[in-house]
C-alpha cells in the first residue's frame, strides 16, 4: 500500500499533461500512487496517461464519462489506497521535493492536514513564477487550529498545495459537491477541512506551480454564474449538521461568502452581473438579518460594501461602475452616491 495517493483529474489537457505527470513521476518521495481520473477526454490526454502507465506501475487510470470535476474527485477519493491524499491539477506542475516536504510536515506534526504555498505560473511569453503567499504570515512554520487562527479561511482554497489523511476525510464525510463543470468545487471542500481539523501543519514551501495561461474562465459562462452560491449552500448544509461548529464558524462562513460574492460580481461580464447580484443580495440580507456577521471584525469600507450589497443593491452596482476598485475608497464612493447616511448608520449600529 502506498503512503500517498495523488489524484489527478483530467479533461482535454493534452497540451500540458505530459509536463504535469512528469513533475509527479520525478518526485524524490517515491512511495505514491498516481490516480489519473479521465473525465471523458476527447483529445490525446488518454494516450498520454497510457504511456505513463506503461512506463511506471505507480500510475493507473479511472476512465469515466464526462460528469464534471466534483464527480471525478469523489470517484477518485473512493478508490485511493494511500494513507494520505494529495491533489494535482492536470495543467499544473508539482515543485521538486513537494511530496517529501508535505509528508515530513504531516507526519512530524501528527496533524491530519499539511498545507503549503504555491506559485502563480506563466509559461508564455516567457516562463515566470510569482509566490502567492497563501499561508498567513503568523501561521507559517506552526501547527494551527483554524477555528482559533481563522485567517486561513480567507485565503484562496488551493486544495492542491496540501496533503490530507484519508481517514480524516472519511470520518468527517468530506467530499466534493458534484455540480456540473469545473467551477469553485474546491471552496466547500476546503471549508470542511479547516472546519473539522484541529491541527493543520503550515509550511512556507511552494508545492505547486499554478498555471495562469490556461485558466478555463467562468466569466462569460451563464451556466456557472451561480456555482459559487451552490458552494456556500453546501457549507451551510454542513454546518447545520454540526451545531458545535456552526456556533463558531457561522460568522466566518458569512464573511467568506461576502468576499467571494464581491469578487465574483466584479469578474462577471456586464449582462451576468444583475441576476447574480439579485441572488447575492437576498442571501447576504438574510445573513445580516439573522445577526450572522461579526461586523466588529470588518473595517468601515467592508461594512459599507456589505450593507449596500445586501440592502441597496442598485447603489452597490452604481458604486462599482462609478470607479474601479482601489481608485476611490469605499467611503468616498458611497458619499458621492448619496450613501453617507448608510455608512454613518453602519458605524452607529452593528446591524446598520
pLDDT of amino acid 282: 98
Question: Which of 236 and 297 is assigned the larger pLDDT?
Answer: 236
Q: Are 121 and 211 a contacting pair, CB within 8 Å? A: yes
Which residues make Cβ contacts (< 8 Å) with residue 33, sequence separation at least 6? 2, 4, 5, 6, 58, 59, 60, 80, 81, 82
90 by Cβ neighbours in 10 Å (0-12 / 13-18 / 19+) ranks as buried
pLDDT of amino acid 214: 72
- The Cα 71–Cα 224 span in angstroms is 16
pLDDT confidence bin for 39, thresholds 50/70/90: very high
Count Cβ neighbours within 10 Å for each residue of 289-323 and write b for 16 or more, e otherwise.
eeeebebeebeeebbbbbbbbbbbbebbbbbbeee
pLDDT at 200 over 70: yes
pLDDT confidence bin for 135, thresholds 50/70/90: very high
- DSSP one-letter code for 224: G
Question: Which of 346 and 240 is assigned the larger pLDDT?
Answer: 240
pLDDT at 28 over 90: yes
What are the grid coordinates assigned to 187, written together?
Answer: 471552496
pLDDT of amino acid 337: 45
pLDDT of amino acid 222: 59
- The least confident of 120-129, 149-158, 329-338 is 329-338
Q: What is the pLDDT of residues 213-224, one digit of tens each?
A: 875 544 445 567
pLDDT of amino acid 350: 41
CA atoms within 13 A on the CB side of 83: 10
Q: Are 88 and 160 a contacting pair, CB within 8 Å? A: yes
What is the 3 state secondary structure string of 269-300?
Answer: CHHHHHHHHHHHHHHHHHHHHCCCCCHHHCCH
Provide the percentage of residues in the chain whose pLDDT is more than 90. 75
pLDDT at 286 over 50: yes
DSSP assignment of 94-133: EPTTHHHHHHHHHHHHT-SEEEEEEEEEE-SSS-EEEE--
Q: What is the pLDDT of residues 12-26, one digit of tens each?
A: 999 999 999 999 999
- Of 41, 84, 129, the C-alpha closest to 17 is 41
pLDDT at 338 over 50: no
- The Cα 130–Cα 121 span in angstroms is 7
Average pLDDT over all residues of the chain: 89
pLDDT of amino acid 322: 63
Cα Rg of the chain (Å, integer): 21
Q: What is the pLDDT of residues 61-102, one digit of tens each?
A: 999 999 989 999 999 999 999 999 999 999 999 999 999 999
- DSSP one-letter code for 299: -
Q: Are 5 and 36 a contacting pair, CB within 8 Å? A: no
What are the grid coordinates assigned to 253, written together?
Answer: 462562513
- The least confident of 47-51, 295-299, 331-335 is 331-335
Beta bridge partners of residue 34, listed in sequence order: 6, 59
Amino acid at each position: 500500500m502506498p503512503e500517498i495517493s495523488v489524484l489527478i483529474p483530467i479533461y482535454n489537457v493534452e497540451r500540458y499533461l505530459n509536463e504535469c505527470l512528469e513533475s509527479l513521476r520525478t518526485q524524490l518521495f517515491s512511495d505514491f500512487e498516481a490516480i489519473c481520473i479521465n473525465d471523458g477526454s476527447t483529445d490525446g490526454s488518454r494516450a498520454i496517461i497510457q504511456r505513463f502507465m506503461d512506463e511506471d506501475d505507480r500510475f493507473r487510470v479511472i476512465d469515466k464519462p464526462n460528469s464534471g470535476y466534483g464527480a471525478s474527485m469523489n470517484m477518485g477519493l473512493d478508490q485511493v489506497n494511500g494513507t494520505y491524499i494529495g491533489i494535482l491539477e492536470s495543467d499544473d506542475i508539482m515543485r521538486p521535493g513537494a511530496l517529501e516536504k508535505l509528508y515530513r510536515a504531516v507526519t512530524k506534526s501528527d496533524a491530519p492536514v499539511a498545507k503549503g504555498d504555491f506559485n502563480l505560473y506563466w509559461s508564455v511569453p516567457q516562463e515566470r513564477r510569482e509566490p502567492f503567499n497563501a499561508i498567513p504570515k503568523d501561521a507559517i512554520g506552526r501547527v494551527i487550529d483554524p477555528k482559533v487562527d481563522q485567517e486561513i479561511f480567507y485565503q484562496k482554497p488551493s486544495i492542491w498545495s496540501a496533503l490530507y489523511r484519508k481517514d480524516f476525510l472519511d470520518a468527517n464525510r468530506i467530499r466534493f459537491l458534484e455540480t456540473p463543470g469545473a467551477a469553485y468545487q474546491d471552496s466547500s471542500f476546503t471549508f470542511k477541512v479547516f472546519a473539522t481539523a484541529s491541527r493543520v501543519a503550515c509550511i512556507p514551501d511552494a508545492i505547486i506551480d499554478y498555471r495562469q495561461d490556461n485558466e478555463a474562465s467562468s466569466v462569460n459562462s451563464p451556466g456557472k454564474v451561480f456555482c459559487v452560491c451552490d458552494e456556500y449552500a453546501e457549507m451551510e448544509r454542513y454546518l447545520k449538521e454540526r451545531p458545535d461548529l456552526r456556533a463558531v464558524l457561522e460568522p466566518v462562513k458569512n464573511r467568506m461568502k461576502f468576499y467571494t460574492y464581491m469578487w465574483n460580481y466584479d469578474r462577471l461580464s456586464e449582462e451576468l452581473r444583475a441576476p447574480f447580484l439579485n441572488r447575492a443580495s437576498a442571501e447576504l440580507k438574510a445573513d445580516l438579518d439573522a445577526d450572522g456577521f461579526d461586523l466588529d471584525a470588518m473595517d468601515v469600507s467592508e461594512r459599507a460594501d456589505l450593507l449596500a450589497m445586501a440592502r441597496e443593491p442598485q447603489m452597490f452596482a452604481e458604486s462599482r461602475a462609478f470607479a474601479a476598485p482601489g481608485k476611490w475608497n469605499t467611503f468616498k464612493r458611497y458619499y458621492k452616491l448619496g450613501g453617507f447616511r448608510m455608512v454613518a448608520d453602519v458605524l452607529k449600529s452593528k446591524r446598520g
